[in-house]
Amino acid sequence: MKRMTALFSAALLSAGLMSATAHAQEDSAANAAEQTQAAAPAQDFSDAQLQQFADASKEIAVLSQEYTERLQSAEGEDAQQEVRMEANEEMVKVVEESGLDVDTFNAIGQAIQQNPELMQRVQEMAQS
């Protein structure tokens, strides 16, 4: 159980990394506002969406670890920003290949932080 909690924590950190990188892009201010609004009614996700989130989270956790190590060894702000941008692109690709869009992935991530029952449900999906 601790492993699954760590997995989702890493995935949520990854989602945070995506948001932080997105904020550096010009059109991200509107997206951030939409993401915040999307999180409010976020309790109504389908089983398919939750399964897609669980699957993508596992892959993102691996990417997050890899890019965290690369970020720590990057020297200078420019090199760190390049690593962040690359990590963002890879994580977005994983999310989209899972069948979700980034906004939905982030909304589910926010919802499971606020709802322990939903977190448990997604963890069970990830284990199966």
pLDDT digits over 2-23, tens only?
Answer: 444 444 444 554 444 444 434 3
Q: Hey, where are the domains in the chain?
A: 2-127
Residue 24 reports pLDDT greater than 60: no
- pTM, to two decimals: 0.66
- Which pairs from 16-24 meet CB under 8 Å and 24+ separation? 17/64, 17/67, 17/84, 17/87, 17/88, 17/91, 18/88, 18/91, 18/92, 18/102, 18/106, 19/106, 20/84, 21/84, 21/85, 21/87, 21/88, 22/88, 22/102, 24/81, 24/84
Mind listing the pLDDT tens digit for each residue in 52-107? 999 999 999 999 999 999 999 999 999 999 999 999 999 999 999 999 999 999 99
Question: What pLDDT is recorded for position 11?
Answer: 54
